Structure 1
């Protein structure tokens, strides 16, 4: 799954990377190195500009809330559980079917975090005390340092308890599409620890390579079979992973230091 990621690039960088034609500087977000569910996030999407004379889609940088609320939902309470959509079923699930066909986006990231429990530390005791299983966070990113373009979908939800003119009357929310993690070797693996993405976690965010950006964002593409060809996971050889501080496990911690590479996994703690 994808439950935490880093997004340190500023809007100016994203505008250049993705060829953004429209964005609102007053709506942009500060860098966030510990993006968690229900936070506001940057997304890239192709959509006609509201009330514009030209109906053609325009590439936009928008701020959406992470955690999709289906258009038919009675309330947004389930958003925190809808942060991910599985690539294998995204075209079929009622919550994701229409957004997948009509409202796809890219969620830019530097990389994502995943936690690994050491196999030899699950029920150990040290000096009569139980040893807490070490959940070592790893940061996974493109080996060449390029943007991690996560495939996403977005949806509109109307809060019927509010009048039309209320700023919160409409919610625009998104989900990250996940796929099976590659079993092949990483381009750069940590000196100690997992050597493939699948050893870190069986699933990962679906990363779109640049050749897939335009067809993925194109709202004119609605055929599920045609879109299915874009859901192939990236090769493990494109990725690298390394251990980072367990400070990232606390969502209140935020800063570029969370991406600092450790020479080895941290030691387990006792309780």
Structure 2
């Protein structure tokens, strides 16, 4: 599952790549939303391109809160749901069956632009399993178009979740316990994903035909990513690190 992302491009760079007309931001929050490592469980604000405001990008809190809840109670809600992932990811297979997702699936789809993201690989040493973080980015280092859905709570707080799907071959090797991957839209589907006229079958087709593994590169990085003292949120965190315990070909 995708619980950690990297965003280092400035808002103006993202605006240019996606041909955004306007950036909307609340002066009370950071105007750039730049993170070398954004831990989803901290529920940061990230830039989002929403279906209801095509041509705009706005900050939203990562961690979907259902529309019948209050955003002002977000800390309590996330704490209560942490064992279920605190709304950070949503299985795309449940889009049209879950009461928390199905309305958003048709009217509140979104794109979360990121530079890269982190996934854990489970390795073993002396019979003991442990996790090694891998970093994913596009080979051309362009923004990755992560697919998501969002909601507005009863008190009008916008929150989003990242859609996931069954792992493709590359992700099966890396994310080898959960065997999932985020839904990564192809560039040709950026406008399509936000189109109000999409049918259920259209939406499923876009998800099924998302970015192929061949456009991505991945490699292991420092386990500092998992430390709780903030060492993961540093510029050099994506420096490659070799581990003897890794027994897969990821290059």
TM-score, normalising length from structure 1? Answer: 0.77
- Could you tell me how far 1:221 is from its partner in structure 2? 2.4
Q: CA offsets per residue over residues 88-144 of structure 1, 9 Å max, x none? A: 111211111111110111001111111112145443xxxxxxxxx431111012222
- Give the gaps of 5 or more residues in structure 1: 49-57, 124-132, 159-168, 184-195
Name the structure 1 match of 2:38.
35
* Cα deviation digits, residues 51-104 of structure 1 (max 9, x gap): xxxxxxx41111000000111236544445211111111121111111111011
Count how many residue pairs are aligned between Structure 1 and Structure 2.
Answer: 226
- Equivalent residue for 1:18? 18
Please report the RMSD computed on the Cα atoms of aligned residues, expressed in angstroms.
2.1
Tell me the distance in 1 between the aligned counterparts of 2:58 and 2:126: 43
Structure 2 residue 216 is matched with structure 1 residue 239: yes
Q: Which moved more, 1:109-118 or 1:61-70?
A: 109-118
Cα distance in 1 for partners of 2:201, 2:245 equals: 47
Mapped contact 1:150–1:205 kept (Cα < 8 A): yes
Q: Is the 8 A contact 1:47 1:60 kept in 2?
A: no
8 Å CA contact 1:46, 1:60 repeated in 2: no
Report the alpha carbon displacement of residue 36 of structure 1 after superposing the two structures with TM.
1.6
Kindly report which structure 2 residues correspond to 1:175-186, keeping only aligned pairs within 5 A, or say none: 175-183=161-169
Query: In 2, are the aligned partners of 1:178 and 1:203 still within 8 Å (CA)?
Result: yes
Report the TM-score when normalising by structure 2: 0.83
Unaligned runs of 5+ in 2: 247-251
3-state SS, counterpart of residue 144 of structure 1: coil
Q: After alignment, is 230-239 or 205-214 more displaced?
A: 230-239
Corresponding residue to 2:100 among 74, 95, 100: 95
Larger helix fraction of residues: 2
Alignment partners' CA distance in 1, 2:215 and 2:190: 17
